[in-house]
Structure 1
Amino acid sequence: MLPADMVGGVSATRAANLEASSEALDTFVKRVDSVLKTLEGSAGNPAKVGAQTIRQTSLTSGGPDIFPEAHGLYNQYKRVHDELTQLSRNLHLQIEAIGIAVQGARIGFDNLEEEQRQRFWAIQAEVGKSQDAADGKQRTGTGTKVRA
């Protein structure tokens, strides 16, 4: 049975706890912007992660029959590198989306500039496609699933 103050929706106490002051949202936006700026300047920047590769010939100059272990090592390196690059990109996009969402929470999503609203939904679509692709790899067995 629900408490009397919760019938018909969120309790008044919980609603008050959900309200965020403009100052709190401004502080949070600044923190998100700072994290995004730090990420962009770090080695975790998607472009920098993607650029850090090795060539297959660095491990072996022969075909896969000459030294199959080296080819296996390279294939695993390539898979992990691709996944880290995508993870870095998704992290970057999600931090950007959080910044837009917080701004929307402060002034109302409908009051955001059209460009910001479109960017928010484009980020969500892009991250969703990336997740769907990763899920598809796991279902078809072309990727590996880490188990805890």
Structure 2
Amino acid sequence: MLPADMVGGVSTARAANLEVTGEALSTFVKRVDGALSDLEGSPGNPKRVGAQTIKPGSLNSGSADAFPEAHALYLEYNRVHEKLTSLSKTLHLQIEAISIAVQGAHVGFDNLEEEQRRRFWAIQMQIEQVEGTADGKQRTEGNKTTGDL
């Protein structure tokens, strides 16, 4: 049996803390939109991170046998670069999804424009693809393997 001050499994004090006003959601949306805008204008932008590559010849003559340490450094740089690119894409997508979700929480997800709802689910699929690629796994849907973004 639940204590008298519990409502739906949550105490009334905690339930009051969970209540969200439209003003609080609007403020949060502005903060999320600001974070997304800052990310897009920063060196952490997924396109900018993805463009920061090096060529094998930058560290040696291109032959792994001539200077194996340089080749190992090149391979490690590329591995880390791929991870950073993946993290940057995921962060960008997550912030965009949060922005849509907060708007949906404010007006009701069913009351969002159809395009926003589609974009939200498309983002979820893109995140799964990015995370699957980052893990070195190909996620499959039915018999079809998902491709790049």
Question: Greater share of strand residues, 1 or 2?
Answer: 2
Unpaired stretches in structure 2, ≥5 consecutive residues: 138-149
Q: After TM superposition, what 4+ stretches of structure 1 lie above 6 angstroms from structure 2?
A: none
The offset of 1:129, in angstroms, is 2.7
- Alignment deviations for residues 59-99 of structure 1 (CA, whole Å, 9 cap, x no partner): 01142111111110000000001110110010000000010
User: 2:49·2:85 contact (CA, 8 Å) conserved in 1?
Assistant: yes
CA-based RMSD = 1.8
Aligned residues: percent identity?
69
1:18 aligns with 2:40: no
Mapping 1:1-148, distance limit 5 Å? 2-6=2-6, 8-136=8-136
Offset at residue 41 of structure 1 (A):
0.5
Aligned AA (1:86): S
Whole-angstrom CA distance in 2 between matches of 1:28 and 1:77: 37
Q: TM-score, normalised by structure 1?
A: 0.84
Whose helix fraction is larger, Structure 1's or Structure 2's? 1
Paired residue total: 137
Letter in 1 for 2:126: E
Greater mean deviation of Cα atoms: 121-130 or 110-119: 121-130
Q: TM-score, normalised by structure 2?
A: 0.83
Q: Which amino acid aligns with 2:34?
A: S
Letter paired with 1:27? T
- Three-state SS of the structure 2 residue aligned to 1:4 is coil
